[in-house]
Amino acid sequence: MEKDESLDCKGLMCPMPIVRLAKKMKEMQVGKVLELVVDDPGSKEDVPAWCSRTGNELLGMKQEGNVFFFYIKKKVA
């Protein structure tokens, strides 16, 4: 999937992937797509929850082994 930036949070557990995701998205411009790479199993629920709560768009997710790749489009400034 197309992406503008990537953020590797492998090895980090809740709450750090979400805290880093929020910080990273704050730095990005509206319309850009972030790839978030995580292996916290809670992320499967947490990342979609963050997207819906903050109004950003989850374009897709894939899983390779224990690693999740989320593609998130920044929708709100």
Partner 1 sequence: MAGKRLVMVVSEGTFDKAMESMMIANTAASMGMDVHIFHTFFGLPLLLGNADPKLPGEMAPQTEMMKEKMKSVGAGDYASQKKMAVELGVHLYACSTSMELMGITKEHLTPGVTILGAAGFLNIAADSDMQFFIG
7, 21, 36, 47: residue in contact with partner 1 (rule CB under 8 A): 21
31: left (phi over 0), alpha (psi -120 to 50) or beta: left
* Catalytic-labelled residue, pool 1, 13, 14, 16: 14
Q: Closer CB to partner 1, residue 9 or residue 33?
A: 9
4, 23, 27, 30: residue in contact with partner 1 (rule CB under 8 A): 23
**50 is a site residue for partner 1 (CB under 8 A):** yes
Task: State the DSSP H helix or E strand holding residue 57, giving kind and residue range, or none if neither.
Answer: strand 57-64
DSSP three-state, residue 68: strand
> How far is residue 65 from each of residues 24, 52, 56, measured CA to CA in Å?
25, 25, 26
Residues in contact with partner 1 by the rule CB under 8 A: 9, 11-16, 18-19, 21-23, 49-50, 53-55, 76
Q: Name the residues annotated as catalytic.
A: 14
